[in-house]
Amino acid sequence: MSALDEEMLALLRFAAERSIMPRWRNLAAGDVEDKDIDDPVTIADREVEEFLSDALTRLAPGLAVVGEEAAHADASVLDRLSGACWIIDPIDGTSNFANGTGHFATMVALADAGEAIAAWIYDPQRGRMCRARKGEGAFVDDQRITTRSSGAEPPRLAAMTRYMAPERRVVFETKVAPHFTLVDAPGCAAEQYPLVAFGEHDIAIYERVLPWDHAAGYLFLNEAGGRCARQDGTPYRVDSGRKGMIAAANARLWDDFTARLDAAGYAPGK
C-alpha cells in the first residue's frame, strides 16, 4: 500500500469513527433533511465532507475539491471537474444509512482532465477498503483482485428502474429484463461495484451517473478486469452530464447485455 493509500485509509477510518458509525441507527430527528425526493442528507454527510475537504486540501494544496454536498449548495462547484480534483461522496447510500438498514460507504476519487485516475471506497461496517490506481490494478485492502462472474444462467442483473424514464423503463422491463435474473440493487453504488467485481452480481445498469457516485467505482471495476462504460462503449468522464452506464464482470457479459439493449431500442437518457 502506497503512502497515499495509507493516508487515505487513515482519513476515511477517522471520519467513519468520528462522524458516521456513532450515528448509525442513532440519528436524532433533526439530523436528517431531504434535499429532494428520495435524496436525504444527514449531519454525518456534512461533517465527513467538511473534514475530508479540509484534509485533502492540506494534503495537496491547490488541488480542487468537488464534494456532493458542496455541489448541491453551489452548482458552480461542478466546473472544477474538468481539471485536477478530488471528488468526495461523504456517505454513498445515505438513504440506507438514514433508515438504519443496508450498505453505505465513503468514496473518494482523484480525477484529472475528466478522467478518474485513483479511487478509494471505504466501507465502515466491514472496515474494508476497495482501492485502485489507473494502470496499476484494483485491491481490497492489501490483496489485488480480479473480477469473476457468478456463473449463473441467466446472468444476474441489478437495475434501479425507478430512475429510468417511463418509456425506457417499459422497454427495459418487457424486452431486456426477462433474459436475466433480476437481483436487488443495494441502493449504494459503493456496494454495487464490488458486488459486480466479486461475482455476486454479473451486470449493473445505471441511469444517474453523478461523479461522486461513480468515479471511484468505475475505476475500481475496470482496473479489476471488469468492463464499465457508456452504452455506446465510450469511457465515463466525470465532467460529462450524460446519463447511463453499464457495469459488468467481464467484457463478454457487457457485450451481450448492451447488444440486447440496442436490439430492444433502449437508449439512456440525455
- Whether 269 is covered by a domain: the verdict is no
Distance between CA 195 and CA 255 in Å, rounded? 19
Q: Specify the CATH number for the domain of residue 222.
A: 3.40.190.80
Rounded mean pLDDT of 137-162?
96
Q: Domain count of the chain?
A: 2
Q: Are residues 137 and 177 in the same domain?
A: no
Per-residue pLDDT band for 38 (boundaries 50, 70, 90) equals confident
Q: Is 61 exposed, middle or buried (0-12, 13-18, 19+ CB in 10 A)?
A: exposed
pLDDT of 90 strictly over 90: yes
Residue 150, in any domain of the structure: no
Which pLDDT score, from 0 to 100, does residue 12 have? 98
- Degrees, nearest 5: CA angle 31-102-131: 95
Q: Region 233-258: what's the mean pLDDT?
A: 97
Residues 28 and 106 in one domain: yes
141 and 161 part of one domain? no
Q: State whether 125 and 94 are in the same domain.
A: yes
Q: What is the pLDDT of residue 268?
A: 83
- Partners of 123 in beta bridges: 128
Q: Are residues 162 and 141 in the same domain?
A: no
Same domain as 131, residue 165: no
CATH number of the domain bearing residue 60? 3.30.540.10
Residues 138 and 204 occupy one common structural domain:
no
Q: Both 36 and 130 in a single domain?
A: yes
162: pLDDT strictly greater than 90 = no
Domain that holds residue 181: 156-264
